[in-house]
Amino acid sequence: MTLSNPSTFQDFLILMLLNRLAAGKAPIGEALKNGQSPREIAEKIRVQNWLGLAKALKALEKDFEPEREFDECARLGISLLFLGQPDYPALLREIPDPPLLMYVKGRLLRGDDAAALAIVGSRHATEYGLYHARKFAREISAHGFTVVSGLARGIDQAAHEGALETGGRTLAVLGCGADQVYPAESRRLFDRIADQGALISEYALGAKPLAHHFPRRNRIISGLSLGVLVIEAHLQSGSLITAREALDQGREVFAMPGRIDQPTSQGTHEMLRQGACLADSSWTLVECLGREAQRRLNCIQPHEAALPDSTSAPERLPRADRENSDADAQAVNPEAPIRQDLSFLGDQAWSCEELQKKTGRSLQDLFSWLLRMELTGALRKTPDGRYSVNVR
């Protein structure tokens, strides 16, 4: 399937205009995927009233001021990413209704963000839910996953904060323009996400956080992710919409159980009854999603056992931790070559604590390396949580 890129500046302007249409984006996206240019699609709408959008397109053309929007994007550090551009997220491109155009404040990283987990849940979360949202986000980030959520109050914000606490990456998908801070009290978190990940919106600058925007943005949250974890949700929660979108997109769906006397547990318990995967630990998520993440990242060969050095994943560690990792590695043996095999482990099983002492690496580096080694079959995990060389 050929995806048509805007070949001229005029095509790009037309794509910006098509993106503002309230309806018809799914068939327009399919037309782009099948090789039609934005200009051809717009002409089809004008002449044939395709999808019944001729009147709406004419009204949009009347008020369209792209130069003002370009200037504002430049002022705010917001970039535009269109469907078909090489940097457009591969996972998102696969869904039935990908955004035609996205406004991005921050950076999307093709490699790192290919392994992503969405964490969503109630805006009226309990302390139990908030604690575990942060905990799951911290631990999944330590394993190298990007955390995706919607910046809403409650579980979403806790998930973003958990990822940021470990120096991990997090993406926030907005139900308003990328220049709008919503909720208003989340300004500091908004800025931190832009610095350490990205804020993403398919809505034009200035778009307000209208109620009907949020259900639609949920398909992007799940579309950017290998799986969706729901932590606390009422039976009518928008988080369940995200879970349904994930299922439609062929993603894994997880639910964390809660207290049986809490209304916010009803939605997640219903998900579990209907077959969602039980999320009882971060390792459950890693084991389930890790192989697909590894396939997509395609960044390591079987039995390539080198532990990552501080330059191999700069987005995963805060600067202070990266400097400490360098110092730790040099303190163990500053002249030791990076090992390319697993012979240094011998034939015994090692705990994480023992491996940390033996390698001199931070736990975050170690967890990432262990995950890679287990996924490629180089190491196996014993029932008591130790690691040994997998003899095949």
Given CA atoms 143, 253, 256, 379 in this order, what sign does their dihedral have?
negative
For the chain, where do the domains classified as CATH 1.10.10.10 start and end? 319-389
Please report the pLDDT score of residue 68 as a whole number. 85
- At 124 the pLDDT is 94
Asked whether 51 and 24 are in contact (CB, 8 A), the reply is yes
Check: CB of residue 195 under 8 Å from CB of residue 189. no
Pick from 262, 264, 260: which is nearest to 231 by CA?
Answer: 264
* 135, pLDDT greater than 60: yes
- Per-residue pLDDT averaged across 339-364, rounded? 73
Which has the higher per-residue pLDDT, 30 or 171?
171
pLDDT reported for residue 128: 96
Query: What CATH class is the domain 319-389?
Result: mainly alpha
pLDDT for res 190: 98
Position 309 scores a pLDDT of 38
**Domain(s) of CATH 3.40.50.450: residues in the chain:** 106-296
Assess whether pLDDT exceeds 70 at residue 134. Answer: yes
What backbone phi and psi angles, to 5 degrees, belong to 224? Answer: -80, -5
Tell me: domain 106-296, CATH 3.10.20.30, correct?
no
**Cα–Cα distance, 190 to 246 (Å, whole number):** 25
238 against 23, higher pLDDT: 238
pLDDT of residue 87: 85
258 within 8 A of 128, measured Cβ to Cβ: yes
pLDDT above 70 for 69? yes
Which helix (DSSP H) or strand (DSSP E) does residue 322 occupy?
A: helix 319-332
Q: Determine which of 156-160, 267-271, 281-285, 308-312 has the lowest per-residue pLDDT on average.
A: 308-312
Mean of the pLDDT values across residues 136-149?
A: 94
Question: Is 253's pLDDT higher than 90?
Answer: yes
Residue 251 has pLDDT above 80, yes or no: yes
Q: When comparing pLDDT for 363 and 188, which is higher?
A: 188
